[in-house]
């Protein structure tokens, strides 16, 4: 009889995406077998919130967050603080976002993205729920806005799927925020990113899949799923020079500290 795998958390996945249609029971069972005890499924457009909420309601250990993804800001109604705060009344609603800035493909909507980001920050401030940030090719504006807003009133935050530069990492860590490690950190050519994580305090690190995207080796190029967070965590353990079980425990504790509503729900 083999020992059960160490308990770990997938702090960011997208279970409502069509890649997983009709497969949720099997998907979650595989995650459980890999040691994944909790996962947060993320709504990226507020009009799909009822679907994401239903997934969280239907499955033990599945929680959810909602916001407007920066790449969708130009095509979706602008979220309001009131909308986001109202969603937070649900017992399984545990975070605000994902929100942020993405200038890679959608730089033409930069102004609207910044407005949306500030709205989400205010909702995080009012609810005390963690803000879930997506940042791509926007390091300077992201660091500036996060810092300006934090001076205006404290809030909590995770830099989801962190793959930006050391300057943004330092700005986020200086504000007391967390960095989340995705499959990108496990790619062979991501040594610079691993070095950024290695320089961060381990008590500010989360792990995630961002599934169905960014599967870590040996699944790279295929559909990602929550079970594979264990593959990324194995690399994370190497980065920090820790046993896998210890890294899984520490990142799970970090998750519970940031996503405090999950810990309350399970108490």
22-43: average pLDDT: 97
Tens of pLDDT along 81-136?
Answer: 999 999 999 999 999 999 999 999 999 999 999 999 999 999 999 999 999 999 99
Q: What is the mean pLDDT of the chain?
A: 96
- Overall average pLDDT of the 64-91 stretch: 97
The three-class DSSP label of residue 71 is: helix
What span, in angstroms and rounded, lies between the C-alpha atoms of 213 and 132? 17
Burial class (CB in 10 A: 0-12, 13-18, 19+), 22: exposed
Residue 9, SS3 per DSSP: strand
pLDDT at residue 38, as a whole number: 97
Alpha-carbon distance 114 to 78, whole Å? Answer: 11
Tell me the percentage of the chain whose pLDDT exceeds 70. Answer: 99
Whether 3 is covered by a domain: the verdict is no
Q: Give a yes or no: residue 2 inside a domain.
A: no
Mean pLDDT of the 38-56 span: 97
Task: Please identify which residue in the block is written with the tokens 């793959």.
Answer: 163
List Cβ neighbours of 41 (8 Å cut-off, separation of 6 or more). 13, 14, 15, 16, 52, 55, 56, 62, 63, 64, 65
Tell me, yes or no, whether 187 lies in a domain: yes
At 65, give phi and psi (nearest 5°): -135, 160
Confidence of residue 31 (pLDDT cuts 50, 70, 90): very high
Which domain CATH number covers 13?
Answer: 3.20.20.140
Residue with tokens 């810092």: 147
pLDDT at 243: 97
pLDDT (mean) for 63-77: 97
pLDDT of 1 reads 45
Q: Read off the pLDDT of residues 209-226 as tens digits, 9 standing for 90 and up.
A: 999 999 999 999 999 999
- Kindly report whether the peptide bond that precedes residue 218 is cis, defined as omega within 30 degrees of 0: yes
User: Nearest Cα to 258, choosing from 125, 172, 156?
Assistant: 156
Each residue's pLDDT tens digit, 178-200: 999 999 999 999 999 999 999 99
223 located within any domain: yes
**Mean pLDDT score, 167-177:** 98
Distance, in Å, from the CA atom of 70 to the CA atom of 235, rounded to the nearest integer, reads 29
Domain range holding 226? 8-266
Q: Residue 93 is encoded by which pair of tokens?
A: 């609603």
Position 151 scores a pLDDT of 97
pLDDT value at 3 more than 90: no
Q: Alpha helix locations (H) across the chain?
A: 24-33, 49-58, 81-87, 110-127, 139-152, 166-174, 191-198, 229-239, 244-258, 260-266
Residue 180: closest CA among 138, 119, 226, 134? 134
Number of domain units in the chain:
1
Residue 138 belongs to a domain: yes
Q: Is 32's pLDDT higher than 90? A: yes
- Compute how many other C-beta atoms are within 10 angstroms of the C-beta atom of residue 54: 12
Whether the predicted pLDDT of 263 surpasses 90: no
1 lies in a domain? no
Q: Average pLDDT of 224-249?
A: 98
Say what the pLDDT of residue 2 is.
Answer: 57
Of the chain, the end-to-end C-alpha distance in Å amounts to 30
């Amino acid at each position: 009889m083999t020992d059960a795998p160490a308990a770990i958390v997938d702090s960011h996945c997208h279970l409502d995406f069509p890649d997983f249609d009709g497969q949720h029971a099997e998907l979650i069972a595989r995650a459980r077998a890999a040691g994944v005890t909790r996962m947060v499924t993320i709504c990226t457009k507020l009009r799909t919130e009822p679907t994401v909420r239903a997934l969280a309601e239907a499955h033990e250990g599945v929680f959810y967050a909602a916001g407007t993804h920066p790449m969708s800001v130009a095509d979706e109604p602008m979220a309001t603080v009131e909308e986001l705060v109202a969603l937070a009344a649900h017992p399984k609603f545990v975070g605000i976002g994902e929100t942020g800035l993405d200038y890679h493909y959608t730089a033409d909507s930069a102004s609207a993205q910044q407005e949306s980001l500030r709205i989400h920050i205010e909702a995080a401030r009012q609810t005390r729920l963690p803000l879930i940030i997506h940042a791509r090719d926007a390091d300077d504006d992201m660091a500036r806005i996060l810092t300006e807003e934090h001076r205006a009133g404290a809030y909590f935050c995770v830099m989801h799927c962190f793959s930006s530069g050391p300057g943004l990492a330092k700005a986020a860590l200086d504000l007391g925020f967390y960095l989340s490690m995705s499959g990108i950190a496990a790619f062979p050519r991501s040594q610079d990113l691993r070095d950024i994580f290695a320089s961060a305090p381990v008590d500010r690190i989360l792990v995630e899949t961002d599934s169905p995207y960014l599967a870590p080796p040996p699944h790279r190029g295929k559909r990602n799923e929550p079970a594979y967070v264990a593959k990324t965590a194995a690399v994370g353990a190497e980065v920090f020079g820790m046993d896998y079980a210890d890294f899984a425990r520490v990142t799970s504790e970090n998750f519970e500290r940031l996503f405090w509503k999950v810990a309350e729900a399970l108490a």
